[in-house]
Amino acid sequence: MDNLSDNEEQPQERSKTPDITVSSSPMRPALSFSSSSQHLNEPHLQCKMAASFQPVADRSMVFFDPARGHIVTMRDDGEVEVVGVGSGWDVKRIRIPLRGYARSVKLSADGSFLGVIPSAKALQIMRVVPATSTSPIVYEIVRDTKSSDAILGFEWTIQDEFVCVTSIGIDFFQWNESKRTFIKRKNVHLNVNWYVYSPSYRILIVSTGAPGLYMYYLRPNGSTTQLPSLIIPSNTTNTLTWGLSVSPPSTITRKQMSVVMLYGKIYAIFNDTSKNPPLLSLFHVTKSSVRKERELNLGVAGNHAVNVVDNLLIVHNLTAKHSMIFDIQSLDDTPVAPPQPMGLDTVEQFDLCIHAQIFCRVKPGTNKHHSIDEDDGLPYLPSTILLPSRGRLYSIYPRLADIASFLLSNKSDPVHLTTMLLRRSEHDAHDLVLTLLRSLILGAKSVEHLRGVFDAVNQASASGVTRRRQHSSVSGRDRSHSMSSIGSGLTPINDARAGSPVPSRASGQSRPDTVISHTALVSQQHDPPSISDLETKSVEAPVVLSQEDIYSHVFLPLSNDPNITPQHLYPHILSYFTSLSRHSRSPAPYLSELLTTLLIQCRKYTHLQQLIQYHVITDSITLAKMLVIVSNEDVDARGLKQVGLDMLKRVGAGEEVVDVLVGSGKILEALRYASATDILSQIPPVPILESAYASGDRTLFLNAFRCFEEAGLIPQPLVSSSLRRPRSLVYGDGVDSSTAGALGRYVSMFYEVWGEHIEMEHV
C-alpha cells in the first residue's frame, strides 16, 4: 500500500495541534449512544413524507414512476393529474380521451407523451405537450387478433422511446418527428409470461417458461444487448417414493424478482419462498456472467418487498409486518439488527400505519395502531413507499444512531459495527464512528479490544483516500472517452437525473429532516452503468476519518475527562499508532504530543524515551521543548533533556537548541553549535551575554563577547569612529534602540573588566 502522508489524506490536516473550535464541528448530542430502554426500542427505519397528492377514491387510480418521480392520478372521467416529487414541480392536469379503468399510466421522461393501457389488448400513446383541451392519441397498439395475445406492459426507456412487452414478444418504438408518430425499431419474438424492468439501470428481465430468465440491457434507437440468462436452481428434484413422484418445482413469479444496485454492483434478487426459512438470493450481473454471490436468511415466511437505502438492503415482510436491514458486505446472512416495524418521522403522521403491506410504529407513548387496506402500501425501489388511500409518498431512511445503540447495548462485535458505519455515506455515520470510538475506549477492558476497530478505521480511510486519488486522476480521461464512444457499449440515459436516495455529505443535507429534493427520491438516478462498468466495482469512498478527527473528537476529549485516567488512555493511543504504522501512515505531531503528555503524567519516562528512539513518536519542536521542560522539573526525567536536544537538532530548530543549551548553562557549547550550523547571526547576543556575565566566570564572558564581536554583532566605538561608519551599520540594520542600548551596556561592562587592549584567542 502507498505511504499516505497527512497532507494527502485530508486537505485540512495540519502538522500543528488543530484548533478544535474552528477546524472541527462539535458532536451533536443526538448522536450519542444511550442505553435507555426507550431509546433502544426506537424503530431502526423511519419514513419521511416526500410528496402528497389527492387520495385515491372509488373513481380514481394512482400510478407512481420511481425512475422519474411522477405520481400520476387518473379519474374515470379522463382527467389526469401529475405530481412531481420535490420542490420546483408544478402540478400538471391533462385531459385524455379515455374513460373508465386503466391498467397502467406512465409519463415520458420529458413529459411530452403519456402512455395508457386501458385493457390487456390496447396501448395508447398521447401527446400532452403542447397542452390542448384533450390530448390527441398519436399512436395505438391493439392486440385483438388472437385471444392469447395480450399486452403485459410498457416502459419509457430513453427520452422519446418506449418498449412494449406482449405475450408474444418485445417491441421497441421511437418517436419520429417528421412523421409525427412512433415507429417500430426492433422486435424480439418470445413467448413472455411476465417481465421485470429496472428503469434505473435499463435492465429487462423476461420469463418465457424456459429454465432460465432472459435479461436484456436496453440501448438507444431500439437496440439491445443480451446479457447471460439467469438460471435459478430448481428447489426440488423429481424422485420416486413408493411409486409416487414428488410435486414439480414451484413456478417463479414476477413478485419474486427485482433489480438493485448495492456497492456499485448490479444484482438480480430472487425471493425463494419455497424454502424454510425463506432465502433471498443475490445474483451479480455482469456482461459475461450471472453468478450467485449471497443468500440472505429472511427468517419468517411471508410476502416480501425490498428497498435500497445507502447500500443497505431493506426487506419488508408484508405478512409479519416488520422490516429487516441487511448489509451484504457483512459476512453474516442475517439482518444487521432484529426485525422491527418502521416509524414515521413527523408527530402529526404517527397515527398513519400500514397494516398489511408495511407496518409502522405509532407515536411513542400511545398503544393504538391504525390500519389501511391490504393492497394500499406499495414499496418502490429504491427507497419509497406509496400510500394511495392516504395520498402520501414516503421515503425510507435508516436510523443509524438507533441501530448502533442497539448493537452496542447487545454486545455486538465492535469491529463489525464499526465497519458497518464506515460503509455508510450518510453524514451522521462520520460522527457516529467517532462517538462509537469514545464509547469503546471508555468501556474497554484491554487494548486488544480496540485493535481491530482501529485497523478498520485506518483501512477504510486509506482505501477511501486511494480511491479518491485514483478517481480524480482518471475522471478527465474517462469523461473524454465517454464523449467519443457514444453508441458503443451501454449508453447512459440522456435525461437521467443525478442523485442518490440518501443526501451525501457534500450536498450539505446531513439528516432526513431537511427538505427532500427530487433527486433524493428518484430511483438511483446516476447514469446507468455501461457494459464495461458492469465488470468493475464503482463505489463511493467510505467514511474517511482523518487523524485530526480522531484527535479532536476522541482522544483529546477523553484526556480531559476526569473519569478516565492517563494509564487507561495512553495504551489505546499507542494501539492507534500501531494501526497507523500497519497501514503505512505516520502519526501527526499533535497526536505524538498528546501521547507524550499522558506518558509524562504517568511518569513513564523510560517508555517514552524508547518510543522516541524507535521513531514511534514523531519529532516536533513542541515535543522537544516539552521534554526539556519536564527534565528541569522532575529529577527522574533528567535523561529526557538530551533526548529533547537531539530531537531539536533532527528537526533543524537551531535557535531552540541554543536556548536549551544556554538554559542548561552550556554557553560555550551553544556558541560552538551556532557557529558550526552558521546560525550565529540569528541568535540575539543579549541573553547569552547576560547568562555569561551572571555566571561570574570572567573568561566565559570574554569568550562569549569575542565570539559575537568577530561575527560583527557587537558595536566597537573606536573602530567605528576611525572608519567613519554609521553606528546603525555597526549595530546591524533593523536593530531597535532597546537592543542597541543593551548591547552598549555589555560593551561597557566588557571594557571595564578587560580593558581595551586585551587580546584573546578565538573561540
- Lowest-confidence segment of 219-223, 302-306, 423-427, 521-525 by average pLDDT: 521-525
- Quote the CA–CA distance of 544 and 428 in Å, as a whole number: 13
- Quote the CA–CA distance of 641 and 661 in Å, as a whole number: 10
- Lowest-confidence segment of 178-182, 193-197, 519-523 by average pLDDT: 519-523
Number of Cβ within 10 Å of residue 607's Cβ equals: 13
For residue 495, name the pLDDT band (cuts at 50, 70, 90): very low
For residue 53 the three cell numbers come to 397528492
- Quote the CA–CA distance of 66 and 389 in Å, as a whole number: 18
Residue 574 has pLDDT above 70, yes or no: yes
For residue 446 the three cell numbers come to 484491554
Strands 360-361 and 342-344: parallel
Residue 737 has pLDDT above 70, yes or no: no
pLDDT score for 394: 87
Residue of 474, 321, 337, 316 whose CA lies nearest to 401:
337
For residue 668 the three cell numbers come to 560555550
Which residues lie closer than 8 Å to 401 by C-beta, 6 or more apart? 30, 31, 33, 428, 432
For residue 603 the three cell numbers come to 511518569
pLDDT score for 73: 84
Share of the chain above pLDDT 70, in %: 71
Strands 384-387 and 392-398: antiparallel
**Is cis: bond before 11, omega within 30 of 0?**
no
What end-to-end distance do the CA atoms of the chain give, in Å? 52
Residues in the chain: 763
Cα-Cα-Cα-Cα dihedral sign, residues 11, 17, 23, 25: positive
Residue of 194, 188, 218, 223 whose CA lies nearest to 206:
194
Which residues lie closer than 8 Å to 240 by C-beta, 6 or more apart? none
Residue of 108, 111, 110, 114 whose CA lies nearest to 74:
114
DSSP 64-121: EETTTTEEEEEETTSEEEEEESSTT---EEEE-S--S--SEEEE-TTSSEEEEEEETT
Mean pLDDT across 469-492? 46
Higher-pLDDT residue of 633 and 411 is 633
- Quote the CA–CA distance of 295 and 9 in Å, as a whole number: 36
- Lowest-confidence segment of 403-412, 501-510, 554-563, 604-613 by average pLDDT: 501-510
What DSSP state is assigned to residue 222? G
Higher-pLDDT residue of 495 and 334 is 334
pLDDT score for 74: 84
Question: CA neighbours within 13 Å on the CB side: how many for 425?
Answer: 20
pLDDT score for 617: 92
* Tens-digit pLDDT profile for residues 88-105: 566 778 777 777 788 888
What DSSP state is assigned to residue 276? S
pLDDT score for 145: 76
Mean pLDDT across 531-546? 63
Query: What backbone phi and psi angles, to 5 degrees, belong to 98?
Result: -145, 135
- Lowest-confidence segment of 175-189, 362-376, 467-481 by average pLDDT: 362-376
Question: CA neighbours within 13 Å on the CB side: how many for 244?
Answer: 3
Distances in whole angstroms, Cα of residue 319 to Cα of each of 301, 302, 353, 357: 8, 5, 14, 7
pLDDT score for 762: 40
Mean pLDDT across 136-143? 86
Question: CA neighbours within 13 Å on the CB side: how many for 722?
Answer: 4
For residue 508, name the pLDDT band (cuts at 50, 70, 90): very low
Residue 356 has pLDDT above 70, yes or no: no
- Lowest-confidence segment of 6-10, 556-560, 658-662 by average pLDDT: 6-10
Which residues lie closer than 8 Å to 278 by C-beta, 6 or more apart? 271, 272, 298, 299, 300, 301, 302, 304
Q: Is 480 exposed, middle or buried (0-12, 13-18, 19+ CB in 10 A)?
A: exposed
Residue 584 has pLDDT above 50, yes or no: yes
Residue 679 has pLDDT above 60, yes or no: yes
- Quote the CA–CA distance of 496 and 519 in Å, as a whole number: 10
For residue 558, name the pLDDT band (cuts at 50, 70, 90): very high
For residue 654, name the pLDDT band (cuts at 50, 70, 90): confident
Mean pLDDT across 657-680? 87
Residue 434 has pLDDT above 90, yes or no: yes
- Lowest-confidence segment of 189-203, 264-278, 492-506, 670-684 by average pLDDT: 492-506
Mean pLDDT across 16-32? 44
Residue 597 has pLDDT above 90, yes or no: yes
What DSSP state is assigned to residue 211? S
- Quote the CA–CA distance of 181 and 165 in Å, as a whole number: 19
Mean pLDDT across 456-485? 64
pLDDT score for 89: 62
Number of Cβ within 10 Å of residue 759's Cβ equals: 6
Number of Cβ within 10 Å of residue 31's Cβ equals: 18
Cα-Cα-Cα-Cα dihedral sign, residues 743, 744, 747, 749: negative
Mean pLDDT across 101-118? 87
Higher-pLDDT residue of 38 and 604 is 604
Mean pLDDT for the chain overall: 76
- Lowest-confidence segment of 48-57, 121-130, 488-497, 740-749 by average pLDDT: 488-497
- Quote the CA–CA distance of 666 and 657 in Å, as a whole number: 11
pLDDT score for 448: 83
pLDDT score for 275: 86
Cell 406512465 sits at which residue?
Answer: 106
Residue 242 has pLDDT above 60, yes or no: no
- Quote the CA–CA distance of 284 and 473 in Å, as a whole number: 28
- Quote the CA–CA distance of 102 and 74 in Å, as a whole number: 8
Residue 1 has pLDDT above 50, yes or no: no
Strands 169-176 and 181-189: antiparallel
| Pure H helices in 343-447 | 400-409, 414-422, 427-443
In single-letter form, the type of residue at position 640 comes to L
Residue of 236, 233, 256 whose CA lies nearest to 248:
236
For residue 129 the three cell numbers come to 405537450
Residue 21 has pLDDT above 90, yes or no: no
Mean pLDDT across 20-39? 44
Side-by-side strand order, sheet with 312-317: 304-309, 312-317, 322-326
For residue 723, name the pLDDT band (cuts at 50, 70, 90): very low
Share of the chain above pLDDT 90, in %: 31
8 Å CB contact between 367 and 395: no
Cell 416480501 sits at which residue?
Answer: 304
Q: Which long-range contacts (CB under 8 A, 24 or more apart) does 284-290 make?
A: 285/203, 285/215, 285/227, 285/230, 285/259, 285/534, 286/534, 286/535, 287/225, 287/227, 287/531, 287/532, 287/534, 287/535, 288/228, 288/535, 289/228, 290/215, 290/227, 290/228, 290/229, 290/230, 290/231
pLDDT score for 601: 94
Residue 105: strand pairing partners: 116
8 Å CB contact between 175 and 156: no
pLDDT score for 214: 94
Mean pLDDT across 387-391? 82
Residue 194 has pLDDT above 90, yes or no: yes
Residue 148: strand pairing partners: none
Residue 206: strand pairing partners: 195, 214
* Tens-digit pLDDT profile for residues 607-650: 999 999 999 998 999 999 999 889 888 889 988 989 999 999 99
pLDDT score for 610: 94
- What are the residue boundaries of the structural domains of the chain, listed by start? 668-763
Cell 395508457 sits at which residue?
Answer: 116
Residue 525 has pLDDT above 50, yes or no: no
For residue 748, name the pLDDT band (cuts at 50, 70, 90): confident
Cell 372509488 sits at which residue?
Answer: 58
- Quote the CA–CA distance of 526 and 493 in Å, as a whole number: 9
Strands 342-344 and 45-52: parallel
Residue 198: strand pairing partners: 203
